[in-house]
Structure 1
Amino acid sequence: MGRFVWIIAAVFWATVALGQDLRVATYDPGLTRKGPGLLVRDIRAGDPQVRAAAQVIAAARPDVILLTGLDWDADGQALAAFAKVLEDAGHAMPYRFAARPNAGMPTGLDLDGDGRLGGADDAQGFGQFTGQNGMAVLSRLPLGPVVDHTAVLWRDLPGNLMPPLDEAVAGVQRLSSTAHWNVPVLTPQGPLHLLAWSATPPVFDGPEDLNGRRNHDEAAFWLRRLPEAPFVLLGNPNLDLADGDGRPQAMTALLDQAQDPQPRGAYQPEQTGANASHRGDPALDTAVYDAAGPGNLRVDYVWPAKGLRVTGSGVIWPAPGDPLAPAVEAASNHRLVWVDIDPASLAEPFRAKR
């Protein structure tokens, strides 16, 4: 059995080494529930929404994917169980990483000023329990040692836009609403660093614009943390550069170092309601929101470093008659985004622009 596994691994590595494109993806599969342990229960029970999310990922066939909407648990049971569902769907991704996110992590303080402790708004990042709506990486390739920046305090980010906060709050308030990770994917041509994050929406606050400022700074964090090595910025920055609310300056600044392949979906719903007034190309949208509210937005991104050769990209948004469409609709209001990279470009001399 061991020799058989070794042969399969050797064939895979040889295929990658011969120049097969490396597919990097991000996706919010909606694998979050209202209490701890409920996601594990649903996965093991064969929940249709869970199976639909696995079907979408299997159809995209990524080599590595960042999931930005998956509940975290200390034993990794949910991630392991979902990886098994994905394997049963025909796309095994044996390497995985997840760490405790700031979402739902208690601060012991009354951050929202409602006179009570322990609410979802009193956590480091919004969450009804520790780990709700966390992040995870699944990969067909081995992963190297992860650098986890999730504990960085907001006030310690140089040039931060943090509004004036009570000293006790400022002393504990972390920057990441979910997490910031540098995850090396170990390819035969060298490591590819996934710079992963999922930010707070830049809304649901008051005139101090706390969420808008934090959303900006969660992206700005990477401006000082770009490695001198091939990288991909990816995740859910929760910001549309053309439509919706928020401060786009930090995301725009990242494009001095990264490239936007502008992945496009095959289908765009009828542009009615708020969508009719949008300035952005609807083919770039990655999430479905109420047409009476913000409308559909582009909030999920995969941005490779400049110098990496992109050979293809897309958003998994099939037309209603497509066989995959029911699974896409049933899984999540987000759409999977993928970018193909020529692995040979990982082995070329890398120079970060400064």
Structure 2
Amino acid sequence: MRFATFNASLNRNTAGQLVTDLSTPGNAQASRAAETIQRADADVILVNEFDYAADGEAAELFRDNYLEVSQNGATPVDYPYYYVAPSNTGVPSGFDLNNNGVVGAPGTQAGGDDSLGFGLFPGQYGLVVYSKYPIATDDVRTFQHFLWKDMPGAVLPDDPATAAPADWYSPEELDVFRLSSKSHFDVPIELPGRKPVHFLVSHPTPPSFDGAEDRNGRRNHDEIRFWADYVSGGRAASYIYDDEGGTGGLGRGQDFVIAGDQNADPVDGDSYDDAILQLLDHPRIQDPTPTSAGAVEATQRDKGINLSHRGPAERDTADFADTAPGNLRVDYVLPSERLAIHDTGVYWLTSADPLFTRLIGTFPFPVTDHRLVWLDLGTGRTHGR
């Protein structure tokens, strides 16, 4: 059973543009993203940075016009099931959240910065889950509306210009400010002969594009912490409520896979307080540490700050600017402790591979600056691939 995550950069700068691009089979970037997914052939995959469109229109177009059609000779992949839901990105807050003295107009960079999650329009940078197996739709939980202030011990940002603590956001702003910069989904995947596996997916904000208050770094930390508390269950998750009013987290007998672009490296980069270690060091979570030869080659080719990184280059999953932050490990597929890991990897080809130029490349990238991460698990029943 293969689970995967892929930040495919299938986001556009205007609402509706992704639907337009996917309405016909000729979009080069979408074709290459689909080919990457076809070659990985995951049973369940999260696609980050996929603009939300009502009624799943974009998700269906990508499936019908790209995933189910061979791209450059790759075997088509059939995902009968998918899940999408609204995102906080681009949703106007009505407040000056970046404290620059102006409430930015929707559709502008300033308006994006003052939205509940950065975005030029509602749903930009959304997420979609595709699955070869049924999704228990009635049991899906979303946490789009959970307020950051309702997390006990939240690391709310502080305005360094005042004496009061944790006051970057006013009480009125905190009454509307949501924890998730996009959304958090618990998507149960129904597998034959066993209980569902909960696919826990999200895309925390990058810990950058802010100031000394580190508002994005702190938010990233707590977006990651949300899943750590959720899988702990019991008292640790008692504060959690979903968009339908349900409370609490997972029970001890429930298996899960956490997936997504977490925008946090365990060693390098700008994370607040080792944010990703909340998951990697969690007693209920396994870290399979996928690697690739392509990531090592990229560090040797790109040089710059990459040469001073402390983390192993082979574990990187994203090819970022070589001045800062450099290539990092930010994309994860993390299974619960009872699931048997069979294999794992990062789809980062070396330049010697004939597919490199089309699917990986160097800046400006032909598809995305992220690499697909996959994980093969034993789920208690043999599945022929």
Residue 18 of structure 1: aligned partner: none
Shift of 1:305: 0.7
Residues 71-98 of structure 1 show CA distances to partners (whole Å, capped at 9, x for unaligned) of: 0011321111111110113111110000
Query: Which amino acid counterpart does residue 259 of structure 2 have in structure 1?
Result: L
1:83 correspondence with 2:75: no
- Matched residue, 1:298: 329
Q: Does the CA-based 8 Å contact 1:153-1:173 persist in structure 2?
A: yes
Aligned to 2:256: 231
Normalising to structure 2: TM-score of the pair?
A: 0.82
Give ranges in structure 1 of 5+ residues lacking alignment.
1-21, 347-354
Give, as a single letter, the amino acid of the residue that structure 1 aligns with 2:359: A
The 5 Å alignment of 1:28-47 reads 28-45=7-24, 46-47=26-27
Q: Which amino acid aligns with 1:43?
A: L
Equivalence map 1:1-354=2 (5 Å): 22-45=1-24, 46-84=26-64, 85-89=66-70, 90-114=76-100, 115-117=102-104, 118=106, 119-144=111-136, 145-163=139-157, 164=167, 165-188=169-192, 189-226=194-231, 227-228=250-251, 229-254=254-279, 255-256=281-282, 257-267=284-294, 268=296, 269-271=298-300, 272-325=303-356, 326-329=358-361, 330-344=366-380
Letter of the structure 2 residue corresponding to residue 319 of structure 1: T
Displaced runs of 4 or more, over 6 A: none
How many Å apart are 1:345 and its aligned residue? Answer: 7.8
Query: Residue deviations 1:283-336, cap 9 Å, x none?
Result: 111111111221111110011011210000000001113133222331111000
Within 2, Cα distance between the matches of 1:73 and 1:108? 23
Structure 2: gaps spanning 5 or more residues: 71-75, 158-166, 232-249
Deviations, residues 38-88 of structure 1 (Å, cap 9, x unaligned): 111112242100000000000000000011110001132111111111011
Displacement of 1:106: 1.4
- 1:206 Cα deviation (Å)? 1.3
Kindly indicate whether structure 1 or structure 2 has the higher relative contact order, using CA contacts under 8 Å at least 6 residues apart. Answer: 1
Is the contact between residue 299 and residue 313 of structure 2 (CA under 8 Å) also seen in structure 1?
no
Q: In structure 1, what is the Cα distance between the partners aligned to 2:337 and 2:27?
A: 41
- Partner amino acid for 1:322? D
Tell me if the contact between 2:19 and 2:53 (Cα under 8 Å) persists in the aligned partners.
no
**What is the total number of aligned residue pairs between the two structures?**
325
2: CA distance, partners of 1:56 / 1:328: 9
Identity among equivalent pairs (%): 41
Letter in 2 for 1:60: A
Secondary structure in structure 2 of the residue aligned to 1:151: coil
Partner Cα distance (2:90, 2:61) in 1: 22
Per-residue CA deviation, residues 254-311 of structure 1 (Å, 9 max, x unaligned), is: 2322011001113221431111001111111111111122111111001101121000
TM-score in terms of structure 1 length? 0.89
1:155 and 1:311 map into 2 onto residues whose CA distance is: 40
Q: Distance in 1 between matches of 2:202 and 2:219?
A: 13
Conserved 8 A contact 2:141-2:187: yes
Single out whichever of 120-129 and 40-49 deviates more from structure 2: 40-49
CA contact (8 A) 2:94 2:103 kept: no
**Which residue in the other structure is 1:13 paired with?**
none
Q: How has the CA–CA distance of structure 1 residues 193 and 248 changed in structure 2, closer, same or farther, with 3 Å as cutoff?
A: farther
CA contact (8 A) 1:239 1:248 kept: no
Q: State the shift of 1:248 in Å.
A: 4.6
* Aligned residue identity for 2:304: G
The 1-side partners of 2:312 and 2:40 are apart by 22
Secondary structure of 2:202's match?
A: strand
Contact 1:307 1:345 in 2 (8 A): no
The corresponding residue for 2:237 is none
* One-letter amino acid of the counterpart of residue 209, structure 2: F
Deviation, 1:109, is: 1.8
Distance 1:25 1:35 in 2: 28
Check whether the contact 2:292–2:314 (CA below 8 A) recurs between aligned residues: yes
Partners in 2 of 1:275 and 1:266 — Cα distance? 15
